[in-house]
Amino acid sequence: MARKWRNKLQEWFVAHTDLPADVIMDLPRVTMIGRLHIYIENHKGVLTFTKEELRLSMKNGQILIKGRDFVLKTILPEEILLEGTIRSVEFIDE
């Protein structure tokens, strides 16, 4: 019950102030540069990583990135920089 209330409050905050949603709701922020780079903040760990696929754990669910020639350039506790040719970014609900 309390959790639902908190979510409601956060959504209201995002809707009625100019504060970015990722800061308030702890959502992933995904930045792409063409299809060469993808930069993901607020991830919760690597689930699988191959040349064609990167699956990251999120707060609710997963994010699945598909493409070719993937290289994890940098990986830090909260952010990831992936290089390669990106074909799709997909959100998977749990």
Q: Rounded to a whole number, what is the distance in angstroms from the first to the last CA of the chain? A: 20
10 or 62: whose CB is closer to other proteins?
62
Q: How far is the CB of 75 from other proteins (least distance, A)?
A: 6
The CA–CA distances, whole Å, from 50 to 9, 47, 92 equal 39, 10, 18
> What is the token pair recorded at 33?
């540069």
21 or 79: whose CB is closer to other proteins?
79
18 or 69: whose CB is closer to other proteins?
69
Q: Which helix (H) or strand (E) holds 46?
A: strand 46-49
8 or 51: whose CB is closer to other proteins?
51
Residues in contact with other proteins by the rule CB under 8 A: 45-51, 70-77
Distance CA 11, CA 1 (A): 16
Q: How far is the CB of 49 from other proteins (least distance, A)?
A: 6
Of 42, 40, 5, 7, residue with least CA distance to 23: 42
Q: How far is the CB of 91 from other proteins (least distance, A)?
A: 20
Q: How far is the CB of 73 from other proteins (least distance, A)?
A: 6
